[in-house]
Amino acid sequence: MRSPLTKRSPLTKRSPLTKRSPLTKRSPLEKRQLRAAAWFLAPALLLLLVFFFLPVIAGLLLGLTDFDIYAIGSPGNARFVGVENYARLLSNDVFWRSLGNTLFFVALGGPLSVAVSLGTAMLVDAKLTRLRPLFRTIYFAPVVTTLVSVAIIWRYLYHPRYGLLNHVLGLVGVGPIDWLGDPHWAMPAIVLLAVWKNFGYNMLIFVAGLQAVPAELYEAAAIDGAGGWRRFRHITLPGLAPTFLFVGVTTMIGYFQVFAEPYVMTQGGPLGSTRSVVLFMYEEGFRWWRIGTASATAVVLLLITLAGALLQFRLQKERA
Amino acid sequence: MSRAAGIAVLLALCCGCGGDGGGVTLRFWAMGREGEVVRELLPEFERENPGLRVEVQQIPWTAAHEKLLTAHVGEATPDVAQLGNTWLSEFVALDAIAPLDARIAASATIDPADHFPGIWDTNVIEGRLYGVPWYVDTRVLFYRRDLLAAAGHPDPPADWEEWRAAMRDVVAGGGGARRYGILLPLNEWPPTVILGLQAGSPLLDVERGYGAFAQPEFRRAFDFYLSLFRDGLAPPVSNNEIANLYQEFARGTFAMYITGPWNLGEFQRRLPAELQDAWATAPLPGPEPGVPGVSLAGGSSLVIFKDSPHADAAWKLIEFLSRPQQQARFYELTGDLPAHKTAWETTGIADDPRARAFRTQLEHVVSTPKLPEWEQIATRVFERGETAVRGASTPQEALEALDRDVARMLEKRRWLAEKGRRP
């Protein structure tokens, strides 16, 4: 780890360069390169500006208004309401219920998804495994399959009377469960679908991470008498720390934004038990056309996700 | 980049010049099954109107509302579309659809007298007509004739007291089996709202922008509704808890159910053969003897969008689809009940005893309050209703809470009215 640092040191020493006005002192070649770079960057930056920054700013501003169906008809019908949308949101029990559902989904689905991804990654990466590309493809297939077609299959699997899942449970003497109709089981059922659908992506990242762990470490540990569990605990896990951070943060962000799974499977029902924050936002915005509250919801979700991501960074740093 | 742009320009040019040489292409959006089969009616229209072509886009019901609204925001609305008649007020609020009064007045084909007055009225928003009924829909009583007859009620109930008596006798005649008189799912608003309308409640004070649920009229209907649960005549369950409605109806778990024409086919298909003579339909009972009970005015209308450059051609299409022959053909293709009264005679639907209940009911239908917030208010009706059924609040508390919810939802309308803007 030290060598890149020492290589970089001459550069860091030259940092007083920035004191000079950078444009005047650049050579003509540098200037030409800069200009070329600017041209190359411009399309991407423009796209980012138009499709990312402007919508975010518009969302923030809309969240301070009561923009609704009447305002779509005539923009003059929108009023500036300040933080009233936020106050109303915090006193809305449907919002809190959705937030609770989402936290449940993240808390159950996130770790489960990471664990399944890691487990399959280790299986696929194991020396004994044959036909690795085949398994990698099979496990990755759900990620690239369209959710709507997957949802149709899973609805059959979850069918209370004819579903395969209940059939199997029946064989071991467990009574039929109304997976998507029972408010207690609907969210776990959605978690199961989401984990199955998404673990392949993280698995590939874990496979890459595993391949970066030096094999000598395992050999040395084995010679020192470390068993499988200790090698996993003291070599694999620390070796994967940066991968964990990446996978953890992206999975959490993704899971906080859960929308498509409940939308196609249950439309938020039964009794609102699978309505996520994003589904709530969608209903506010595109079903009831309360764009103001929908935008405020988006901002709240952004803050929660941000807090979660910062927490993970902090935890990782402490451990390191 | 520039090559891609070049190709795009080329494609655009090709599309531009590939038209039909001066003809007009009407863009027509229709939902679900209607969008699928309406194509079969159109060749005749195109033959009659050379130079007019109709391009039908079929939209699934679940996505229709959002798609229409986003199209309006994106200025990509079609020329003519099918709209659920409860959606009209919303599109009027958006200023998206065109009034049709002048066209109706000049039309030789469409006569309001050929239509059911309650259904026609759903298309009139603040005194102006915005849609022409395409097909109609309402809810009637589906009941087990055998169970009611066995309980001493050979004829369907005509008023609330007879209705309650029929339920009570059916429950008492159940023997050991747990039996209910009627199924009123707790997650459906129509039963509660229909009873309220029957009792003469306006539901909302649309002018002032407040709810009228705590008023005596609605209270009376609500008390009747709650008493059915309290006396064990209706099970306190939602639709989700009824695994299979048809199976439970066949088993006799409940003897009556308030539902719409789509279930005529479903009951025929799903009930066992030996029960096919045992079920019937009847118009809804009214609160007093001798007064027919009203039901909901549902269905779909055809509308013309304001932005359409081909409004005259769009009107021709609406006139065409409103002709009795086309209405009759449309019924044969979809099973949707025709909006045109003559089509009921020519198709012979009026002779079907089960459809006849709908024919009678359609003369007594009332529109739900015509404002964009209605759908949202309707969900609140059953949510608050459920708290009273389950005993979590008293009837008065539930209705006052409902009025508070409504007052909050209509705050914007009151503000607009105060500022003198059309809400």
Q: Each residue of A204-237: pLDDT tens digit?
A: 999 999 998 998 998 899 899 888 899 898 899 9
Tokens at residue A113, please? Answer: 């998804």
CA distance B280 to chain A (A): 29
Residue B47 reports pLDDT greater than 70: yes
Q: What is the pLDDT of residue A242?
A: 87
Task: Look at domain B22-138+297-351 and name its CATH class.
Answer: alpha beta
Find which of A13-27, A157-171, B217-231, B255-269 is predicted with most confidence, using mean pLDDT: B217-231
| Short-list B82, B50, B90, CA closest to B413 | B90
Helix (H, G, I), strand (E, B) or coil at A215: helix
Which residues from chain A sit within 8 angstroms of residue B73, using beta carbons? 72
- Which residue shows structure tokens 């939602």? B238
Distance CA(A299)–CA(A302), nearest Å, equals 5
Neighbours of A199 (CB within 10 A): 26
Same CATH fold, B140-295+370-418 and B22-138+297-351? Answer: yes
Q: What is the rounded average pLDDT of the residues B368-380? A: 90
Q: Under a CB-based contact definition with an 8 Å cutoff, are residues A88 and A292 in contact?
A: no
Residue B243 reports pLDDT greater than 50: yes
**How does pLDDT run across A39-48, given as a tens digit for each residue?**
999 999 999 9
Q: What is the pLDDT of residue A5?
A: 38
Among partner residues B70, B376, B421, which is closest to A77 by beta-carbon distance? Answer: B421
* Dihedral (Cα; A159, A164, A168, A171), 10-degree rounding: 80
- What's the pLDDT band for B240 if we cut at 50, 70, 90? low
Distance CA(B402)–CA(B383), nearest Å, equals 9
Q: Could you give the count of Cα atoms lying within 13 Å of A67 in the half-sphere of its Cβ? A: 17
Give B406's contacts (C-beta < 8 A, 6+ positions apart). B204, B210, B211, B213, B377, B380
Any chain A CB within 8 A of the CB of B188?
A: no
**CA–centroid distance for B15 within its chain:** 39
Instruction: Pick A87-319's CATH classification: 3.40.50.2300, 1.10.3720.10, 2.60.120.10, 1.20.140.10.
Output: 1.10.3720.10
Chain B interface, mutation test: which of A72, A161, A271, A284, most B Cβ atoms within 10 Å?
Answer: A72
Q: Would you list the domain boundaries of chain A?
A: 87-319
Residue B234 reports pLDDT greater than 90: yes
Residue B347 reports pLDDT greater than 80: yes
- What's the pLDDT band for A72 if we cut at 50, 70, 90? confident
| Mean pLDDT lowest among B5-19, B224-238, B269-283, B350-364 | B5-19
Distance CA(A103)–CA(A299), nearest Å, equals 17
Which residues from chain B sit within 8 angstroms of residue A77, using beta carbons? 412, 416, 421
Q: What is the pLDDT of residue A170?
A: 86
Which residues from chain A sit within 8 angstroms of residue B97, using beta carbons? none
Q: What is the pLDDT of residue B22?
A: 59
Tokens at residue A304, please? Answer: 């929660």
Report the complex ipTM. Answer: 0.71
Q: Is A69 left (phi over 0), alpha (psi -120 to 50) or beta?
A: alpha
Q: Would you list the domain boundaries of chain B?
A: 22-138+297-351, 140-295+370-418
Nearest residue on chain B to A179, alpha-carbon basis = B240
Q: What is the pLDDT of residue A162?
A: 78
| Short-list B361, B385, B354, CA closest to B191 | B385
**How does pLDDT run across B91-114, given as a tens digit for each residue?**
998 889 999 999 999 998 899 999
Instruction: For helices A186-211 and A93-125, give the axis angle rounded to 10 degrees.
Output: 40
Give B 219-238 residues with CB within 8 A of chain A: 238
Give B241's contacts (C-beta < 8 A, 6+ positions apart). none
Q: Under a CB-based contact definition with an 8 Å cutoff, are residues B372 and B89 in contact?
A: yes
DSSP code for A126: S
Distance CA(A25)–CA(B139), nearest Å, equals 82
Q: What is the rounded average pLDDT of the residues B66-84? A: 91
Q: What is the pLDDT of residue B1?
A: 39
Distance CA(B137)–CA(B119), nearest Å, equals 9
B140-295+370-418: CATH topology: D-Maltodextrin-Binding Protein; domain 2 (3.40.190)
Q: Which residues is B144 bridged to in the sheet?
A: B279
By residue count, chain A amounts to 320
Which residues from chain A sit within 8 angstroms of residue B423, using beta carbons? 70
**Under an 8 A CB cutoff, do B423 and A70 touch?**
yes
**Under an 8 A CB cutoff, do B94 and A69 touch?**
yes
Tokens at residue B91, please? Answer: 């599109």
**Under an 8 A CB cutoff, do A69 and B93 touch?**
yes
Average pLDDT of every residue of chain B: 89
Chain A interface, mutation test: which of B240, B241, B383, most A Cβ atoms within 10 Å?
Answer: B240
| Mean pLDDT lowest among A3-7, A69-73, B5-9, B339-343 | A3-7
Average pLDDT of every residue of chain A: 85
Distance CA(B290)–CA(B210), nearest Å, equals 32
Which residues from chain A sit within 8 angstroms of residue B415, using beta carbons? 79
Percent of chain A having pLDDT more than 90?
41
Q: Under a CB-based contact definition with an 8 Å cutoff, are residues B369 and B201 in contact?
A: no
Strand order of the β-sheet with B180-183 is B180-183, B254-259, B140-144, B279-282
Nearest residue on chain A to B73, alpha-carbon basis = A72
Residues on A contacting B at a C-beta cutoff of 8 Å: 43, 66, 68-70, 72-74, 76-77, 79, 160-161, 178, 181, 269-271, 286-289
- What's the pLDDT band for B15 if we cut at 50, 70, 90? very low
Strands (E), B32-109: 52-59, 80-84
Instruction: For helices B374-389 and B395-409, give the axis angle rounded to 10 degrees.
Output: 160
Percent of chain B having pLDDT more than 70?
93
At B64, which amino acid appears? A
